[in-house]
Chain A
Amino acid sequence: MQEKRQWTKPMMFGVMLVLAFMLAACGSNKGGANSSSEGDNGGEDKILTLEELVPLAQKEGKVVSVGMPDAWANWEETWRDLKEKYNLDHSDTDMGSVDEINKFAAEKNNPTADIGDVGIAFGPMAVEKGVTQPFKTEYWDEIPDWAKDKEGHWIVGYTGSIAFLCNKELVSKCPKSWADVENNGGEYQLAVGDVAGAAQAQNGVLAAALAFGGDEGNIDPGIEYFKRLAQKGLISKADVTVPNIQKGEVAVAILWDFNALGYREQIDPDKFEVAIPEEGSVISGYATIINKYAPHPNAAKLARTYILSDAGQINLAKGFARPIRQNVQLPEEVAAKLIPSEQYKNVKPVKDYKVWENTVKGLGERWLEEVQIHIK
């Protein structure tokens, strides 16, 4: 009896483990024919216009997005328009850029998502992973080259620039420049957010770098700046979220201008000031990607087209994001709410995203090793 019990135990464990490895190995090799709804003609001659897409999309009935929640850049209104004008149902699951790409890839045999919105730096990654399908839309020529993938695998819909959000009740003199923050004499701390994991925070560092003579390949000036701030005890450890701002945990934050303006509008327009740092900042974009395995490809294409149409661009502007198409006429009230264009004179875009990608890869560690250790 003793003998039997002694080796049933390891045997069972062994069997389990072997089974597990076998199945795991099988699972990862299963290329499998995917139930293809790949009917795309993105790269071909005829690009479907909005009107042509509508009946095709309506047959599909809904569009499923990832990373495009209602509260970000006023996506809410675009989804509402799609429902009211074309009777397209919608649901979204919020997640970070990389999670979106991973979801497209992992689900390829049983896809659920059609379209996602990712930081422009992740567009090429999505293409590399082979999870996108190209679609240029009828507005192709009006999009600047830097804002689109050559074949239309990703297209920027709106841009944002790094700005300061300042709580006037907690700060006597709201900063207008990076220097202002550095010389505030300890009255307040600057909240940057998660440099290792959030595109917004990473771009904050880049913005400082650009302001002090660096660029996407040379982020040293940015790191240096934040190191000085940390040594002076001027960096906050809190995350740049709305609740933190509401509870007074964060007095001055680095945010995308559309977020800064949006939060201000939501919490109390009179209490906050938004400014683009004078010495310089970075302008970047978020791009839509259409799932190669999208279950509702035409609905996704319609969504992208709508986003780039006048109506969609105005929706984004209402969400304080700057539309990518410069020639869209914004209604006065909407234009009035954006930051005056003079503040953007020293704002620069990234010229080579491959270079920025490399920088970002090491940015988290550099931040930890050169800045965070000084944070008090």
Chain B
Amino acid sequence: MLLVLVPFVFWLIAFLALPFAGMLISSFQHADGQGFTFAQYVKALTHPLYTQSLLNSVWLSFVSSLVGLVIAVFASYSFTRFSAKTRDVLLNISNIFNNFSGVPLAFAFMIILGTNGMFTLLFDKLGMGFLNFDLRSLKGLIVVYTYFQIPLAILLVYPSLYAIREEWKESAALLGASTWQFWRYIGVPVLLPSLVGTFSVLFANAMGALATAYALTVRNVNLLTIQINSLVTGDVFPRQELGSALAVVLFVILLIALFINEKMLQLVRKGS
């Protein structure tokens, strides 16, 4: 039985554990690549530039994941209520948008909501200028991030919503339960583990995103991945060690998020 796991573990070691180990080692070194020190972590966790980036990234990821997930649950559920053919088409369409990320997405948003964007100009012309907002800000990024979270979330929760059988709803209705009650006592609890797991992936996806934010705002919005990127690549004198420390911090944040999710899941289960 364990044998089944061997190829997987082997792959993990070869392509994940090794680079990660290298990065981990590097994060404990001095700026010249030698020795052992906590200095990089101290800088990463106390310097206002980096702490601000942590907060911004966490906030951005949290909001975009939550909103994206909620929208996706409603959408996925609606999808499942159509015929098989329509379902497939809808799923297909929504999956296509998983390909939309990075620079092309940033540029597309610029076309519609940028300084000279289609809707920006339209709203101004129609006197609805108050609807316009600055795309190149944290708020703007929340909008864009939510956009690319939606198709991912739909795809991940769809199989679970599929499992909410029509018969359950009808039985519940016959027993006198309203739609709200059905969801509260049957639907959501059944879905909860999948929702929580999906939220973790969404959160991680947003935390790790770089290309879209960079394309839109360069470094004008302070995000963790942008900071890491600027330390290890580009026309800079690289500070690999600090970059590694920040990346490890990123990973720890993801672990914490996972942990919090699990705890909440347990609490909800105990409660009901």
Direct contact of A and B (CB under 8 A): yes
By a beta-carbon cutoff of 8 Å, the part of chain A in contact with chain B is 16-17, 19-21, 23-25, 27-28, 96-99, 102, 119, 121-122, 125, 193-199, 202, 237-239, 243-244, 247-249, 357, 360-361, 364-365, 368-369, 372, 375
- Determine whether the beta carbon of A96 is less than 8 Å from that of B234: yes
Separation in Å of the B1 CB from the closest CB of chain A?
Answer: 12
- Determine whether the beta carbon of B13 is less than 8 Å from that of A20: yes
Interface residue? B81 (CB, 8 A): no
- Determine whether the beta carbon of A247 is less than 8 Å from that of B235: no
Find residues 127-179 in chain B having any chain A CB closer than 8 Å to their own CB: 136
Find residues 92-118 in chain B having any chain A CB closer than 8 Å to their own CB: 107, 110-111, 114-116
- Please indicate the chain B residues that have their CB under 8 angstroms from the CB of A19 in the complex: 13, 17
- Contact partner of A198 (CB less than 8 A), chosen from B12, B111, B229, B235, is B235
Q: Assuming A28-B22, A249-B114, is B230 touching A364 (CB within 8 A)?
A: yes
- Determine whether the beta carbon of A237 is less than 8 Å from that of B136: yes
| Pairs of residues from A and B, 7 with the lowest C-beta to C-beta distance, nearest first | A197-B234, A248-B116, A20-B17, A199-B235, A237-B136, A24-B21, A20-B21
Find residues 45-60 in chain B having any chain A CB closer than 8 Å to their own CB: 49
Please list 11 pairs of residues, one from A and one from B, whose beta carbons are closer than 8 Å in the complex, sorted by A's number.
Answer: A17-B21, A20-B21, A24-B18, A98-B234, A119-B235, A121-B235, A122-B235, A193-B218, A197-B219, A237-B217, A372-B219
Q: Assuming A96-B235, A372-B220, is B115 touching A249 (CB within 8 A)?
A: yes
Q: Is the interface of A mostly helix, strand, loop or mixed?
A: helix
Interface residue? B4 (CB, 8 A): no
- Determine whether the beta carbon of A196 is less than 8 Å from that of B230: yes
- Determine whether the beta carbon of A360 is less than 8 Å from that of B237: yes
* Measured CA separation A198–B49 after assembly (Å): 19
Interface residue? B122 (CB, 8 A): no
Q: Assuming A96-B233, A364-B236, is B21 touching A194 (CB within 8 A)?
A: no
- Please indicate the chain B residues that have their CB under 8 angstroms from the CB of A16 in the complex: 9, 12-13, 17
Q: Is the interface of B mostly helix, strand, loop or mixed?
A: helix
- Please indicate the chain B residues that have their CB under 8 angstroms from the CB of A248 in the complex: 115-116
Separation in Å of the B269 CB from the closest CB of chain A?
Answer: 22
- Please indicate the chain B residues that have their CB under 8 angstroms from the CB of A195 in the complex: 219
- Determine whether the beta carbon of B218 is less than 8 Å from that of A239: yes
- Contact partner of A23 (CB less than 8 A), chosen from B18, B229, B234, B236, is B18
- Determine whether the beta carbon of B110 is less than 8 Å from that of A244: yes
* Measured CA separation A238–B137 after assembly (Å): 11
Separation in Å of the A184 CB from the closest CB of chain B?
Answer: 16
- Please indicate the chain A residues that have their CB under 8 angstroms from the CB of B49 in the complex: 365, 368-369
* Measured CA separation A198–B235 after assembly (Å): 5
- Please indicate the chain B residues that have their CB under 8 angstroms from the CB of A24 in the complex: 18, 21-22, 25
Q: Assuming A16-B9, A24-B18, A248-B116, is B237 touching A194 (CB within 8 A)?
A: no
